[in-house]
Amino acid sequence: MYKMPTEIEEIFDSHRQLEEGNRELAENVQYWIGMTQVNKVWDRVRARPNKYRSSRVGVCIVDTGYDLNHEDLPKDAVSAGSSFGSALSDGDGHGTHCSGVIGAIGGNSKGISGVNPDGQVKFRISKALNNEGMGTASSVIKGIDDCMNSGAKVMSMSLGGGPNADLMDGMFDEAYDRGMMIYGASGNLGIRTDDYPASYPHVISIGAVDRSGRRADFSNWSEQLELLAPGKSITSTYPGNRYATLSGTSMATPIVAGIAAMIWSYFPQCSNQQIRNVLLSSAKTLTDNPNVDCNQRTGWGMVQALDAFDLLEEYGCAAGGQNYNPPRNGGVGGCNQPLADISSLVPLSQQVQPPPINIEQSNFGCKRLMLKIMTDSYAYENSWVFNQMKNGNTRVELGKGPPGEGNYADLTEYNGAAHSGCLEAGTYEFIFKGEKILLNSYMLLPLTLIYL
């Protein structure tokens, strides 16, 4: 029997105060936002919006559901599947709480801000636990399968108590090969134990720290533990326009899942393995031995969002190490997870860029721009335009998609040229879902742009 391992401290209505004193419930910024550097990433990207542009990342939450009518939760870009009635209602509250941690709306003067307050995520809600917070092996397996088929890139599972099952282990292998990052709560008994699904090698096991940054007494530990995040007294959304303060590894898990989605939204070219490893490499080490970065009690340490962001900005995806073929070979878990040797990497700013090539004097032949687009479950969002730039800002459209008046199909791969014929020397722009890339003709040898 699967269940959500959570301790409830308080449930209160939206008009109640979040803290003692005169501060009313109005966009409360909680202590864990600073502890994990989430606010510093917000500051970085909001200060330079033209430089840092995010692309929405799908996050699938396997839990008790989602209160779609809550004042502080997104209404758009939310889809659902369920084993127990409507997934867009939540008779327990646990799933709604985890959802708010990941993506409660910011800037609305209500409640709290989640890790992704500006709509960087699109939710897939997979209701695998009933209104008592309980589920079966079959309901959890159905929920995992729903996540895999939804096109989501991140899966968050604040549940545990099941056995080590080959079937479920194989599903996570497949999900990892598809490019998903999967997070699971390590459990709340405060002992050394393998709790599943968190202890599968392709599930990233998350423990909890308290307000002081020490491993919480209730947080389980094992060889598979990878990261810690605040899990004590976490306030978030609760059904009926209420808010609840809960404690547990259940709360730490969506914090890390939300941070992973946020970081990935700004570096979508990186793989799941690379984002996973960057979060480990940049974690704040909590071991007692200064010469040891990781142990079974604290994993690689407490997640640090800005430090991960900085590593990717400085070194690119190489900061996350190599990609394995198949990807499952790189998912080991715990302290044995293969990380990059950051000291051996050359910053992107110091890497030698190739000089421009005069197309008329080159021997590369026909220059073309090829596209590879793998759609998710929101294929209707995908559109592009390919223009040639002439006389400064004059644009000549060479191609666009999808063709005609239709949309791309969900979960489908498209390959082909962005234009017909060969390209002459000059400058071009490619715009995908509003994101603009400027291309010089020397880059097209041919060049393939891949969007997943």
Provide the annotated active-site residues: 63, 94, 250
Q: Please name the residue that has the structure tokens 């008329």.
A: 360
Peptide bond into 268 cis (omega under 30): no
Would you state the structure tokens that stand for residue 239, as one six-digit string? 């059904």
Segments in 151-287 forming alpha helices (H): 166-177, 249-266, 272-281
Question: Looking at this protein, which amino acid is placed at residue 257?
Answer: A
Residue 412: how many CB atoms within 10 A of its CB?
A: 11
- DSSP assignment of 403-451: STT--PPTT-EEEEESSSSPPPSSEEEEEETTEEEEEEGGG-SSEEEEE
* CB-count burial class (<10 Å; 0-12, 13-18, 19+) for 363: exposed
How many whole angstroms separate alpha carbon 28 and alpha carbon 172? 36
Phi-psi region of 392 (alpha: psi -120 to 50; beta: other; left: phi over 0): left
Query: Per the structure block, which two tokens stand in for 71?
Result: 């004042």
Backbone φ and ψ of 443, nearest 5°: -80, -15
Cβ pair 315, 268 in contact under 8 A: no
Contact between residue 203 and residue 172 where contact means Cβ atoms under 8 Å apart: yes
CB proximity list for 397: less than 8 A, separation 6 or greater:
385, 386, 387
State how far Cα 135 lies from the chain centre. Answer: 25
Query: How crowded is the C-beta side of 121, counted as CA atoms within 13 Å?
Result: 36
Cβ atoms of 79 and 300 within 8 Å: the answer is no
Whole-angstrom distance, CA of residue 131 vs CA of residue 356 = 62
Q: Are strands 121-127 and 78-82 parallel, antiparallel or unpaired?
A: parallel
